[in-house]
Structure 1
Amino acid sequence: MKRSKLVFILLTLLVCFNTQAQEQSFQFTNGKTSDKINFQLINNLIIIPIVINDMELSFILDSGVTKPILFDNLNGLEVLNSETNEIIFLKGLGEGSLLEAIKSKNNKITIGNAEKQQQTIFAIFNGNLDYTPKLGIPIHGIIGHDVFKDFVVEINYRSKYIKLTSPENYSDKLCRSCEKLPLSFHNSKPYILAEITMENKQIPVKMLLDTGASDALWLFEDASQEIVSTANYFDDFLGHGLSGSLYGKRSKLESLTIASFVIYESLVAFPTGESIETLKKIKDRNGTIGAEILKRFHVVFNYQESYIILKKNSNFHGEFSYNKSGIDIEHRGVRIVKNYQYTLDNGRLIFGKSVDITRHISNKSLEDDFRLETAPAFEIVNLRPNSPAKLVGLQLGDVILEINGTDVNKYKLQEVIHLFKGREGKKISIKIERNEKIFLYEFHLKDLLKQKQP
């Protein structure tokens, strides 16, 4: 196998490779002109089922990525076409060094009833890009431009489906409440013009539309355009880039205007770091509109005709919430729990912790029988400085056992995260395991962006 070493600088995840041979397009295999595909929406991210070389996988649909990326989390499973592999090195957002990756050509990929025979895929060996522990379900990769360029892509965030339509068969009959906006492209990524209001000043901005960014807005600070964070902010962990962790200032925006749609008090992050300085140089780009904003619309992307259609949905006026505890958690492996057997009045057997079901047992007697089961281990992986959780003594590596008296077995990862986005002052009681010892902590959620009363 021929192996060459190349170095590419990534600006978000992957830039376009303009020198590569033209690949074929996705085609429907059953004579249809459109197809509807259901998706999961987790942390604002669209998770779609795809098949690569006859293996079923789950990918994030990301309009901010140019080539499909496969994560190295398949435990050695052979997915890619090994005959065309070459080693490359990539660098992207975050504080880190170049990363080794594999560029693989001529892979077969299927999405619903659409198929492509010669897809180039990049496999990246970087645990930080493994979304599985972050989202709580298996995530094998990211796909974006190859889907958007070949179809008109309709995203229904409320009903959780995408509709892929052959461009020549699409009719853009606009409803009365729809807005059609022009798209521009740089490195195959879509941009729109919008307007933000800061300190009572209206500022025009050029923004990347990124379905793979779970935040609402990112803005790049630029004093010359008066895009500067206000005094009402806090320093926060923003997520993982290709080359490491990303940090910045989190605040609120007075308003974001897209065509006739005005969104008030959106959350906004001002990322910092060397890699962000590189992004700011891309054709007057001012930032990113992410999925926390996009999910408030019914969205149609038409790359072929260079436009997007927006229609607000029932999410439009939803509250912008954020983590008020300061805790970031991930699903890190499993823990073993012992569930005892009880006999109820009607003779049924039930397994569960004694603290959960003792009140339902008629004779209050414990049968000497139990079974061992696995439960997800929700581990604290980041703590915001001076946050309520940090100040009471919680530590990195703590494994959460209970929240407000409820075993975390009963929650999905995103449900636990949602509890930390509750109202100002909400009491959180959290039981954790640390070095095989159990500790109980209590704190109250604190809204760091709460407007101070005059």
Structure 2
Amino acid sequence: MLDKGVTSQKIRFELVNNVIIIPVEINGLPLKFLLDTGVSKPIVFNFLKASDSLKVLHAEKIKLKGLGDGDYIDALRSSHNTFKIGNAVNTDQTFFAIFDPSVNFAPKLGIAIDGIIGYDLFKDFIVEINYSNRFIRLHKPDKYSYKDCKKCETFNLEFNNNKPYVNAEVLTDGHEISVKMLIDTGSSDAIWLFEDAEKNLTLSKNYFYDFLGSGLSGNVYGKRTKIDALKLKRFMLENPKAAFPDSVTIASVKKFKDRDGTLGGEILKRFNSIIDYTNSKLTLKPNHFFNKKFSYNKSGLQVEHDGVRLVMEIDMSNNVATINQNKATSELEVKSVIANAYKYTIKPSYVIYNIIKDSPADLAGLQKGDIIYRINGNGTQDMTLKNLVGHFYQKEGTKIKLLVDRNGKTMKFEFLLQSPIK
């Protein structure tokens, strides 16, 4: 809840790989959480980092099953906790704490993430998400008034297991198909579709097999393609990326039989939105991302943050320059003492965790586990994961040169970017 007399609260967020990261304080401990409409109770999944200082109150052991190809995982259910987001405070919050260190999305995002929060935030507020300026605003439902907006469209939300669904249309292979889609701010992808021959939701021949992402219960694989268009009332997004996940890995989320897929962050970020659980409404307004073309990783490489490494650098701090004036000639004499030494600094390390078969990187000889030191002549130690991966989204035909470490041996590779979808 917000303090008496306060009707809204603005909170800045980080937009990383199409997902929203917000600051959350749990029992006095500041953490970073992914904002995910597809999750019910908050989850702390990078638990080992916070185990010494996070107070887990009134805990009981449970098992959780989420998206992915794995099994149930052990967790603690903790109740009567204090959650604080900006000045919004809940003093009786339940969350799940996961001990398994493999449940950690930070390597894929390139920044430390401590957990996920969703329904328990959205149910208490009308949540305005401004992707353009990277903030959310929490509004008290009884104090919020909708403004006239000619550029907006409003949709009815349906709920199943506390998760929001919206109706849309997809255009593919000459068919316009009505679909019910989960609104999932926690997915970095554009569209997921579940194959259904009766609805003509079938995969075209133009696709490639790919790693689609990670869930609480493991990895998700499937086929990537593109469809002709996605329609959200009058809003038409042309040639969006679409993925058809393997049926085995999504079995746990397909219990809601009316669900046809997911709208993820790469679609949602193209709108500034108002998500109103109280009145079951979603309002969308196109922003400057709306007309941005959908692009593919054209290398076949998927890279993640792999901890840190020590890098030796020149330390210039002891270099000294002196300036003296010659009294006889009035000329300035500059003398410098060069005392370069070396220092070791901690820098991020990036590793290849997946390679698409027969992709440019695969055919060039790169392998899973290779550590990328340099790309096109630039050291990766001073790059973010986003900067590094951005090289793989450049135009087709761009040359990529990589210097990698493979089991202690330095190796060079080069290839040309090639779109996996024509």
TM-score by length of 1: 0.87
Of 104, 126, 129, 1:155 maps to 129
Q: Distance in 2 between matches of 1:344 and 1:319?
A: 50
Q: Deviations over 1:179-211 (max 9, x none)?
A: 111101000111111000011111000000000
From the superposition, tell whether residues 118 and 87 of structure 1 become closer, same or farther in structure 2 (CA, over 3 Å). same
Q: Distance in 2 between matches of 1:128 and 1:322?
A: 27
Q: How far has the Cα of 1:445 moved from its partner? A: 1.0
Q: Which amino acid aligns with 1:183?
A: L
Q: How far has the Cα of 1:255 moved from its partner? A: 0.4
For this pair of structures, how many residues does the alignment match?
410
Q: Which runs of 4+ in 1 moved over 6 A?
A: 343-346
Q: Which amino acid aligns with 2:34?
A: I
Q: What does residue 81 of structure 1 align with? A: 56
CA contact (8 A) 1:341 1:370 kept: yes
Q: Deviations over 1:73-100 (max 9, x none)?
A: 4153231333x11111112221112210
Q: Deviations over 1:367-412 (max 9, x none)?
A: 5511111111111111111111122111121111100000112211
SS in 2 for 1:134: helix
Q: How far has the Cα of 1:257 moved from its partner? A: 0.3
Q: CA RMSD in A?
A: 2.1
Is residue 68 of structure 2 the alignment partner of residue 94 of structure 1? Answer: yes
Q: What does residue 118 of structure 1 align with? A: 92
CA contact (8 A) 1:128 1:240 kept: no
Q: Distance in 1 between matches of 2:371 and 2:298?
A: 19
Q: Which amino acid aligns with 1:386?
A: D
Is residue 418 of structure 2 the alignment partner of residue 446 of structure 1? Answer: yes
Q: Distance in 1 between matches of 2:252 and 2:106?
A: 28
Q: Deviations over 1:289-344 (max 9, x none)?
A: 00100000010000000001001011101011121111111111111111124599
Q: Deviations over 1:49-84 (max 9, x none)?
A: 0100000000011000001000124153231333x1
CA contact (8 A) 1:30 1:113 kept: no
Q: Distance in 2 between matches of 1:209 and 1:329?
A: 27
CA contact (8 A) 2:2 2:88 kept: yes
* Structure 1 unaligned blocks of 5 or more: 1-26, 349-362
Q: What does residue 394 of structure 1 align with? A: 366
Q: What does residue 58 of structure 1 align with? A: 32
Q: Deviations over 1:236-276 (max 9, x none)?
A: 00011211111000000100000110100000000003242
SS in 2 for 1:28: coil
From the superposition, tell whether residues 290 and 345 of structure 1 become closer, same or farther in structure 2 (CA, over 3 Å). same
Q: Which amino acid aligns with 1:106?
A: H
SS in 2 for 1:415: helix
Q: What does residue 404 of structure 1 align with? A: 376
Q: Which amino acid aligns with 2:373?
A: L
Q: How far has the Cα of 1:127 moved from its partner? A: 3.3
Is residue 323 of structure 2 the alignment partner of residue 340 of structure 1? Answer: no
* Structure 2 unaligned blocks of 5 or more: 323-334
CA contact (8 A) 2:296 2:420 kept: no
Is residue 393 of structure 2 the alignment partner of residue 421 of structure 1? Answer: yes
Q: What does residue 237 of structure 2 align with? A: 263
Q: How far has the Cα of 1:278 moved from its partner? A: 4.5
SS in 1 for 2:49: coil
Is residue 93 of structure 2 the alignment partner of residue 105 of structure 1? Answer: no
From the superposition, tell whether residues 250 and 366 of structure 1 become closer, same or farther in structure 2 (CA, over 3 Å). farther
Q: Deviations over 1:337-370 (max 9, x none)?
A: 111245999949xxxxxxxxxxxxxx9x985511
Q: Distance in 1 between matches of 2:420 and 2:406?
A: 28
Is residue 178 of structure 2 the alignment partner of residue 204 of structure 1? Answer: yes
Of 283, 291, 306, 1:309 maps to 283
SS in 2 for 1:168: helix
Q: What does residue 219 of structure 2 align with? A: 245
Of 398, 401, 407, 1:435 maps to 407
Query: 1:171-320 alignment to 2 at 5 Å?
Result: 171-320=145-294
Q: Distance in 1 between matches of 2:252 and 2:65?
A: 12
Q: What does residue 352 of structure 1 align with? A: none
Q: Distance in 2 between matches of 1:69 and 1:75?
A: 13
Q: Distance in 2 between matches of 1:125 and 1:419?
A: 35
Q: Distance in 2 between matches of 1:107 and 1:92?
A: 23
Q: Which amino acid aligns with 1:81?
A: V
SS in 1 for 2:33: strand
Q: Distance in 2 between matches of 1:337 and 1:434?
A: 17
Q: Distance in 1 between matches of 2:101 and 2:224?
A: 25
SS in 2 for 1:146: helix
Q: Which amino acid aligns with 1:389?
A: A
Q: Distance in 2 between matches of 1:239 and 1:282?
A: 21
SS in 2 for 1:127: coil
Q: Distance in 2 between matches of 1:334 and 1:30?
A: 46
Q: Which amino acid aligns with 2:11?
A: I
TM-score by length of 2: 0.93
CA contact (8 A) 1:128 1:242 kept: no
Is residue 143 of structure 2 the alignment partner of residue 169 of structure 1? Answer: yes
Q: Which amino acid aligns with 1:86?
A: E
Q: Distance in 1 between matches of 2:313 and 2:4?
A: 50
CA contact (8 A) 1:135 1:330 kept: yes
Q: Distance in 2 between matches of 1:208 and 1:275?
A: 17
From the superposition, tell whether residues 435 and 278 of structure 1 become closer, same or farther in structure 2 (CA, over 3 Å). closer
Q: Deviations over 1:421-449 (max 9, x none)?
A: 11111110010112222111001111011
Q: Distance in 2 between matches of 1:243 and 1:50?
A: 24
Q: Which amino acid aligns with 1:126?
A: D
Query: 1:351-362 alignment to 2 at 5 Å?
Result: none
